[in-house]
Structure 1
């Protein structure tokens, strides 16, 4: 599907009606005060996701029309204003007659090719290899073994349910930008252990491949392991297990595990341990920077130059302004 041939949700004008194919990603049934049923339907257009209302309708009645979660549908949607924001209402919806459409047509992906990002991460890690004159197996070897074994999950997992990089391939994209940032900082702060920092950065969120279950369209939800253990613990345990089979520098492996356990920075943000080495501090801050940059990028897509977000975005400390130039 040529995504550009249809009006995007983000470009839809208040007062207009749009007709386009959509992916139904979720359906939530509710009851109004008057007792009538209505549904909130989450729709994807391949660029973003919106919630559209459909009144005097139940989940069962939509199912009778063939509309369920993960259905590709043709929809007529009216756009209005409610409390200063765009509001979407489904006028009509039915399963699409276009048999060429697939879920991938409505799945938002990172702006950088997945294979390219994975290859560049591995190349940078390989270039950082340090065997201490043959005394130890390089930490980069351990990292590449992990990334190779879990390549498919690492490349397709979301990095979050909703906070940042919450899309298919989001974990890879987040890790890719962070590894590149970490490598650049090594050229400024030359006392940093480049191998340790790049390996820690690449693996800092590896536990998320078990913390979240990511659907083919990029929606993520917590797993039981994610709720009970969390990605910091699972990532650290993974590294400890792989390190038991190899002649790795034990202290350096311990420092790598420390970086995984401390990258949230503070106990308020759920860290297990606070950063205690320079590489752990750098990892924490570039993690925070990349998350904030992604949030800014997402909100900038919805703003025109000179506009300010209506509310303070969740996770940020102020409303965002998009420069008028």
Structure 2
């Protein structure tokens, strides 16, 4: 079995020239350089982060690309390359690249799990639900969170494939982060409908339960996630759960609008079906964006 050395974890990689270690191939792409030559661009991960690995020259890259399996652990030997020079950001120029069997690596080197206690995160949500005054919104939330299967899925699902909270438990952590930001926003703007805003914060990303196929070492999009996107899936899940509640049309429309617009203006190309048009929709969009951007920056050590 290959043991991953402490200095070989991604968070510890520095200016050492040579690297011999194990990584998960999370994603692969064929790219074209400035000279017109093609190369393979790999997203490599371990439990501490991600790094780009590149395979040259063009002749090798084109032949090798189809044989590379994503969501798989490989033994990689290559040189660390700082790019741009002086940035403190590194990629790996790969020389040797071998797939490993499950008995050849330690799974614990690659499993990324939220560091925040799930019990505490769920407690924040359940405390919020208890304090919701609107009977329709409270009933809707209880229909989700009285379901043990839903709670298990919601607590374990990642929040993204790459950019932020992309680990087991990431969806729960992100949802509570957005909820806490929304509570602060309400302190500043008490005219907002707090029950509506908090309900949307808790439910805005529940479609991610169906968006990702994931296991202990990797995350990928499900067919549903690729074709529909999590905003549409979230909206459909909420609409389905509304059946039998007889929620007033105006209230249900307000909630669905917030979910469908929480990625901001449509022209941004981030997946919103409609621009945010209510104060609560605007508040949720920026709360979601703030939590995702700050977490993404922290995860990727962007300076």
Q: TM-score range by the shorter chain?
A: 0.7 to 0.9
Compared with structure 1, are the counterparts of its residues 146 and 92 closer, same or farther at alpha carbon in structure 2 (3 Å cutoff)?
same
For the aligned residue pairs, the C-alpha RMSD in angstroms reads 3.7
**Residue 121 of structure 1: CA displacement?**
1.9
- Cα distance 1:236–1:86, how it changes in 2: closer, same or farther (>3 A)? closer
Where do residues 126-165 of structure 1 align in structure 2 (5 Å cutoff)?
A: 126-131=130-135, 138-147=136-145, 148=147, 149-165=149-165
CA contact (8 A) 2:260 2:273 kept: yes
Shift of 1:228: 3.8
Determine whether 1:49 maps to 2:54: no
Instruction: Pick closer, same or farther for the CA change 1:130–1:68 going to 2, 3 Å.
Output: closer
Give the secondary-structure state (helix, strand or coil) at the position aligned to 1:292. helix
2:234 counterpart residue number: 235
Separation in structure 1 between the aligned mates of residue 20 and residue 165 of structure 2, nearest angstrom: 28
TM-score with structure 1 setting the length: 0.71
The verdict on how the C-alpha distance between 1:78 and 1:190 changes in structure 2, with shifts beyond 3 A counting, is same
More helix by share: 2
Paired residues for 1:59-70 under 5 Å: 68-70=69-71
What's the counterpart of residue 79 of structure 1?
80
Residue of structure 2 equivalent to 1:310 = none
Once the two structures are TM-superposed, the CA of residue 89 in structure 1 deviates from its matched residue by: 3.0
- Alignment partner of 1:150: what SS? helix
- Report what 1:314 is aligned to: none
Q: How far apart are residue 240 of structure 1 and its match?
A: 2.0
CA distance in 2, matches of 1:29, 1:268: 28
Residue 26 of structure 2 aligns with which residue? 25
User: How far has the Cα of 1:206 moved from its partner?
Assistant: 1.7
Contact 2:20–2:77, Cα closer than 8 Å, also in 1: yes
CA 21–100 in structure 1, closer or farther in 2 if over 3 Å, else same: closer
Once the two structures are TM-superposed, the CA of residue 96 in structure 1 deviates from its matched residue by 7.2
Spell out the pairing of 1:2-21 with structure 2 (5 A cutoff).
5-21=6-22
Aligned residues: 289
2:255 matched residue in structure 1: 256
**Equivalences for 1:284-299 in 2 at 5 Å?**
284-299=285-300
Compared CA separation, residues 2 and 204, structure 1 to 2 (3 A): farther
TM-score of the superposed pair, with normalisation by structure 2: 0.76
Quote the Cα distance in structure 2 between the aligned partners of 1:2 and 1:114: 30
Matched, 1:121 2:120: no
Of the two structures, which has the highest relative contact order with CA contacts closer than 8 Å and spacing of 6 or more? 2
In structure 2, relative to structure 1, the CA distance for the partners of 1:3 and 1:283 (3 Å cut) is: farther
Q: How many angstroms apart in 1 are the aligned matches of 2:276 and 2:302?
A: 36
